[in-house]
Amino acid sequence: MSTATTTPSATSTPPRPSLLHRLKSFFRADSLPTLAALVIFVLMLIYGETAYGRIFQLSTLSNLFINNAHLIILAVGLTFVIISGGIDLSVGAIIALSSVCGVMLAGTGMNAVLVIVVMIGIGSAIGLASGILIQYFNVQPFIATLAMMFLGRGLASMLSTVPVRLEEGSGILLLGTKLKIIDGPKVNDLVITPGVLIALLVVIAAFLVLHRTRTGRTVYAIGGSEQSASLMGLPVLRTKLLIYVISGTLAGIAAVVYTARLGSAQNITGIGWELDAIAAAVIGGTLLTGGFGYVLGSVVGALVLGLMNVLITRDGSIPPEATTIITGGILLIFVLLQRAVMARQRE
């Protein structure tokens, strides 16, 4: 009796990729800057715990997110802009103008919800103006947003040259209220604020839009080659306008979060924050040439800058002015890393 031999079916399930192949696809060359930012953040945590102690504490990590919620929101907005190949220098001035207007309107007795809507609307309007200048008048993004920066900063100075404070009991202050999640020993508690939750929602929404929608794919295509994106029939005009509206709107939201935490505003608020947001995006792996970047990478970049400030404060011997020098050094390292990655990809 002969035994029948079976042959593999043509419809058999293809073999699963090996673990090595999956690791290689995850650790792609173009994701090296983002991975480097994550590694640097972890190393900074370890160094801080070893050198100063009390870094791996719930209270320290809570304050890191609370104090940098506005920077995370700004960095997310700049991620959209930089991926498209543009730049936005107006976000710091938007925070100054929006926060001063918000505090002054709240002082007149206006409803807190309406004040927040106005603050966000100011950011959206300035972002829309930047987008119109860039798209319809062919003004370079650097010049258009620089003009909006001077406009916003000037209007904020016209409104007030001295700090203005929110009255006690203002509804806006509720967004800065600390909510205890975990009751730890002594003051080692895990706390958040509604502002942190807003930043989290912004990150989730931006991630879904940028990485899961046609609009997000169009943003990447514009950054890769705007001409090619137009030839493919993508809505370049509408998307570029939307990008700057998103950036301005998120700057307005950041103004709300920051004002709620601090309880005051002044015309010099936000000076240099646009550079911090750009640095956070670049450290997180967003290419300045456009076409590539991660929302979550920008979040990591913002946390790296925030943790750096914590470590400098803990050290005590490093002058605060050195923060900008260290930030510039880190930014330069990541720019060089990006250039090395791009050179390797061209090969």
Task: Count other Cβ atoms within 10 Å, centred on residue 321.
Answer: 7
What is the band of 30 on the pLDDT scale with cuts at 50, 70, 90? low
Helix axes 214-224, 194-212, angle to 10 degrees: 70
Adjacent-strand bridge partners of 265: 164
Distance CA 106, CA 170 (A): 7
Adjacent-strand bridge partners of 264: 165
8 Å CB contact between 240 and 131: yes
What is the band of 7 on the pLDDT scale with cuts at 50, 70, 90? very low
Which residue is listed with tokens 């900074």?
44
- The domain 31-42+55-346 is classified under which CATH number: 3.20.20, 1.25.40, 1.10.3470, 2.60.40? 1.10.3470
Indicate whether 176 pLDDT > 90.
Answer: yes
Q: What pLDDT does residue 315 have?
A: 80
Of 211, 219, 199, 208, the closest CA to residue 303 belongs to: 199
Of 274, 228, 279, 225, the closest CA to residue 254 belongs to: 274
Reported as half-sphere exposure (CB side, CA atoms, 13 A), residue 289 has a value of 8
pTM of this structure: 0.89
Domain residue spans in the chain? 31-42+55-346
Write the DSSP string, 40-91: HHHHHHHHHHHHTS--SSHHHHHHHHHHTHHHHHHHHHHHHHHHTT-----H
Tens digit of pLDDT for each residue in 290-340? 998 989 999 999 999 999 988 888 887 778 777 788 888 888 888 887 777
Tens digit of pLDDT for each residue in 115-163? 999 999 999 999 999 999 999 999 999 999 999 999 999 999 999 999 9
